Amino acid sequence: MSATLTPRVVVVRRRSELEELLALHGTRAAAEWYLRERGRDLAEVVDRHEALQAALTTVAAAVPADWRRGAVDRDDLPRFLFGPEDVVVTVGPDGLVANVAKYLAGQPVIGVDPEPGRNAGVLVRCAAAQVAALLPAVAAGAAPVRRRCMVRAALDDGQELVGLNEVYVGHTSHQSARYLITVGEGGRARRERHSSSGVVVGSGTGATGWCASIARDRPGAPRPPAPEEAALCWFVREAWPSPVTGVELVSGRLDGADRLELTAESDGLVVFADGLETDRLALRWGQRVHVGVAPGRLTLVEP
């Protein structure tokens, strides 16, 4: 934390379902009709919106009067500049912490659950009412924190991105992607050409999400790492056997400095992290991407 600047609390949120419905339909009456036609009740959507607003109000009131403030919507994260003295407070589901983590460089994150019992609570572990006590403790370096491993994808031209849950490499439309996969280095390296729906490389945090759903259908799936462990698990989605493409190298673990290398053998391949498809890297024919453990980690504040 900077010694010359007061901390800045940056509140990260995403639009509620009610706000999205009003943006789409214009009025509550139109939104109510739309939901009713699909067997849903507007009251439930309103209740969830009000729970989010109440949590945001509580968090805003918890910020000390002499601290600076900032706010950013999830859709604007790629254009928001975080400072080293920031304390980040996400108010929303677990995925919102993953969305913001890739843009941080060690700044502490307080994950606030506005709807306890509805979210899994893996990353949003705090109630809005706890923020008032947590902020001074964070500023003093006295708050309990847990550092979570992240995933890094680096292209051979220097571009890179990181993710908290997972990194996906594949075709922009999730159709068949062709590439050469390399696992290991030197004389221990194994290689295979693939035609698949892409590759997912996940952290211990991501092992409870997308990677968990893939592993559930995989006999002999690799043991998932713990959230704090400097290790990753990886899966090839729907590898296609053909005279020139194989199906042997389809899952595994990356421990420590291990890396997975993919060389594009078709156009239209992309790399994105944590489901943010609009914030992606383009991988052209012949380009290589290396995926491994990220040097930085998410600093998650514990309640």
The pLDDT, as a whole number, for residue 271 is 96
Residue 30 DSSP SS3: helix
Structure tokens at 126: 């705090």
The pLDDT, as a whole number, for residue 2 is 46
- What is the overall mean pLDDT for the chain? 93
- Check residue 222 and report its DSSP letter: P
What confidence tens digit (pLDDT) does each residue in 6-49 have?
Answer: 999 999 999 999 999 999 999 999 999 999 999 999 999 999 99
Q: Looking up tokens 């254009």, which residue turns up?
A: 79
Contacts of residue 89, Cβ cutoff 8 Å, sequence gap at least 6? 9, 10, 11, 12, 59, 109, 110, 112, 131
Mean pLDDT for the stretch of residues 186-208: 91
Q: Give the HSE-up count for residue 101: Cα atoms under 13 Å, Cβ half-sphere.
A: 34
Identify the residue with better confidence: 295 or 152: 152
| Segment (H or E) for 138 | helix 131-139
What confidence tens digit (pLDDT) does each residue in 163-183 have?
Answer: 999 999 999 887 899 999 999
The pLDDT, as a whole number, for residue 120 is 83
Asked whether 92 and 31 are in contact (CB, 8 A), the reply is no
In CATH terms, are 8-143 and 151-296 the same topology?
A: no
CA distance 197 to 194: 9
What confidence tens digit (pLDDT) does each residue in 277-292 have?
Answer: 888 999 999 999 999 9
List strands edge to edge, sheet with 108-112.
68-73, 8-13, 86-91, 108-112, 298-301, 145-148
Structure tokens at 138: 């964070």
CA distance 100 to 169: 20
The pLDDT, as a whole number, for residue 4 is 66
CA distance 117 to 113: 9
Contacts of residue 120, Cβ cutoff 8 Å, sequence gap at least 6? 94, 208
CA distances from 195 to 32, 198, 242, 248 (A): 45, 8, 9, 12
In CATH, what is the architecture of 8-143?
Answer: 3-Layer(aba) Sandwich (3.40)
DSSP E strands in the chain: the ranges are 8-13, 68-73, 86-91, 108-112, 145-148, 151-155, 160-163, 166-171, 177-183, 190-196, 199-202, 231-236, 251-255, 259-264, 269-273, 280-283, 288-293, 298-301
How many CB atoms within 10 Å of residue 176? 16
CA distance 303 to 237: 37
Identify the residue with better confidence: 205 or 209: 205
Domain boundaries, the chain: 8-143, 151-296
- Determine the Cα angle at 287 with ends 283 and 293, to 5°: 80
Structure tokens at 154: 């680096």
CATH class of the domain defined by 151-296: mainly beta
pLDDT > 70? residue 3: no
